Amino acid sequence: MASEARVYTPEEAEARIKAENLTGWYLEDGWLRRKYNTDGWRATLMIVNTIGFLCEAAWHHADLSVTWGKLWVKLKTHSAGGITDKDFTLARKIEDTVLWHPGPDSPLEGPPKPFVKSKD
């Protein structure tokens, strides 16, 4: 059951963020958080919809805050009262999906410049 999920202490969560290489993710006020910068409203909306799809497919829903060129993601397992494996698993999927770009050996070109930035 979700209510029986193991809740991470802040110290354990910080260690897991590092161990999972979730660069850009951090703890604040009991949430696992991440800010993404984009090159504008269209890219922001694409990311919102992508994250919405991932959350619905996982049946584990993020809190999102949206402005023109920025998106903040907040994760925690409400039923468990804190951050659990569900949050780290979803954070990894979000990170891998929204920052994905075809590599140099890919037959896909990708846009001339990434429209989502991993840094502030």
> Does the structure show a pLDDT above 60 at 2?
no
Average pLDDT of the segment spanning 35-45: 95
| Tokens standing for residue 18 | 């590092």
Question: So what's the pLDDT on residue 1?
Answer: 43
Residue 78: which pLDDT band, with cuts at 50, 70 and 90? very high
Phi/psi for 96 (5° steps) reads -65, -35
Mean pLDDT lowest among 30-34, 38-42, 75-79, 108-112: 108-112
Q: For residues 73 and 36, is the Cβ–Cβ distance under 8 A?
A: yes
SS3 46: helix
Q: What is the largest CA-CA distance in the chain?
A: 46
Amino acid identity of residue 6, one-letter, is R
Confidence at 93, pLDDT banded by 50, 70, 90: very high
> What are the domain boundaries of the chain?
2-117
Q: Where does residue 7 rank: exposed (0-12), middle (13-18), buried (19+ CB within 10 A)?
A: middle
In CATH terms, 2-117 corresponds, of 3.30.1360.20, 1.20.1260.10, 3.40.50.2300, 3.30.429.10, to: 3.30.1360.20
Mean pLDDT, the chain, rounded, equals: 93
Average pLDDT on 22-42 reads 96
Whole-angstrom distance, CA of residue 119 vs CA of residue 38:
10
Q: Are 76 and 105 in contact (CB under 8 A)?
A: no
Strand ranges for the chain from DSSP E: 26-28, 31-38, 63-67, 70-75, 116-117
Cβ atoms < 10 Å from Cβ of 23: 13
pLDDT value at 14 more than 60: yes
Mean pLDDT of 15-24: 97
Average of pLDDT values for 79-98? 97
